[in-house]
Amino acid sequence: METLVLKGLSRCTGEVDLPGSKSIANRALLMAALCAPGQVTELRHMLRSDDTERMLEALRALGVVIEEVTPTTLRVLGNGGRWTAAPRQLYLGNAGTAMRPLTAVLAATLTQPIELTGDARMQERPILDLTKALQQAGAGVRFLQTDGYPPLVLTQAMHGGTVQVNGSASSQYISALLMALPLLAEDSVLELTGTVVSWPYIKLTLAMLESFGIVIEQTSAQQFVIRGGQTYTSPERYWIEGDASAASYWLAAGVLGGGPLTLYGVGRKSIQGDIAFVDYLRKMGGNVELHEEYAVVTGGKLKGLDADLNAIPDAAMTFATLALFAEGETCIRNIANWRIKETDRLHAMATELRKCGATVEEGADFIRIQPPAEIQHGQIATYDDHRMAMCFSLLGFSGAGVTIEDPQCCAKTYPNYFAEFARLCG
């Protein structure tokens, strides 16, 4: 297994152009494909990573014409959901931002059965709350191995009406339905049950749908009225923001390495909820200045954080490793959905932090971290999870350093992360 040793870093300074947001990129690809037949959408600042490649492969398999102008500029020819090819199976790897929305959109546009599957980890990631909602609307869903988990076959298209979905596990189920229901001939009412997690990602989806001409009426805190028969309309050009989750690693590194470090691609205008990471980093003692479309970080003196980070679960992981450099205890709360991500991130994070000398309490939906008097060297298992690898890169700023297993797992969302890390940190 490939490993990477990082040790004794003392600075992080310069400029970094963040890769495009995975969440925005995969939504934009699908929305562009759903635009009226003949309409072309130019997607700029496209993220090229494992997850976006799975979406690109799936759309092309369905007959969508996608022209690569440059690696990060794509032109997508809309087909209004009238797929011109009929693959028997779509393989989506471990890309939740492809699996969940494609399942819903294909259930809305189905003309013949299709199987959706993924890698071994995807087959452990639940999708039952979404498929239950689709079945309420008449969709036919058959699980091929384990009920509630991919692989699954869609056998019958859904129709409009009242649909309820449990939002307590993943906001991706809600986003998927918001993207699919406007395609139906009939009107729909989407009712959210449970305590909804990651609301900012739902707001992101709503903002993007508006950019693509879709009208969603929110009638109460957890209810949406969606007119049927809508047509996605191309904005002609759509710029994909830098990844605010990825920004968290650089913001943290800029605190530990003193900066100044300028991050291009996110700022006050960001539609991503993970930009709220900045507010919590400031509470922890980081010096960060947000501009319209970029941010500057210039060091800071860290103290422990106690916060409910349900709204920003991906970026919240960065605070777990940053906690080792802080004075006092850190507690990250209301993060039960870490357990259904690329790995069980709560257990993985607790296990690996202990290797570095931290005292860690792993709760059902929280993690409590007491930093060690002196950080110990640890060989960090990354669980084929890009965020584990990038979070633990921060341990390079300790005297003992860190060994990271399988650093290339970052290819899921940020293929050149460690090359950039080497360029900016030393």
Known binding residue 26? Answer is no
Known binding residue 119? Answer is no
Known binding residue 365? Answer is no
Residue 49 makes CB contacts below 8 A (sequence gap 6+) with 19, 22, 411, 412, 413, 414, 415
The HSE-up count of residue 316 (CA atoms within 13 Å, CB side) is 28
Choice among 51, 129, 243, 314 that is catalytic: 314
Classify residue 50 by its DSSP letter.
H
Catalytic residue at 187? no
Known binding residue 96? Answer is yes
Q: How many CB atoms lie within 10 A of CB 409?
A: 21
Say how far apart CA 215 and CA 339 lie, in whole Å. Answer: 33
Diameter over CA atoms, the chain: 63
Known binding residue 172? Answer is yes
Q: Which strands, in side-by-side order, build the sheet including 223-226?
A: 161-166, 188-193, 223-226, 216-220
Q: How many CB atoms lie within 10 A of CB 193?
A: 13
DSSP 102-162: HHHHHHHH-SS-EEEE--TTGGGS--HHHHHHHHHTT-EEEESSSTTSSSEEEEE----EE
Helix axes 22-33, 96-109, angle to 10 degrees: 20
Residue whose token pair is 């297994």 = 1
Name the residue type at position 118: G
Say how far apart CA 101 and CA 180 lie, in whole Å. Answer: 8
Known binding residue 156? Answer is no
Residue 367 makes CB contacts below 8 A (sequence gap 6+) with 320, 331, 332, 335, 346, 349, 350, 360, 361
Residue pair 177/149 in contact (Cβ under 8 Å)? The answer is no
Name the residue type at position 226: I
Residue whose token pair is 């993007």 = 208
Known binding residue 27? Answer is yes
Residue 383 makes CB contacts below 8 A (sequence gap 6+) with 342, 343, 348
Helix axes 50-61, 96-109, angle to 10 degrees: 20
Known binding residue 303? Answer is no
Known binding residue 170? Answer is yes
Q: Which residues are annotated as a binding site?
A: 22-23, 27, 96, 125, 170-172, 198, 314, 337, 341, 345, 387, 412
Positions at the binding site for 3-phosphoshikimate: 22-23, 27, 170-172, 198, 314, 337, 341
Catalytic residues: 314
Residues annotated as binding site for phosphoenolpyruvate? 22, 96, 125, 172, 345, 387, 412
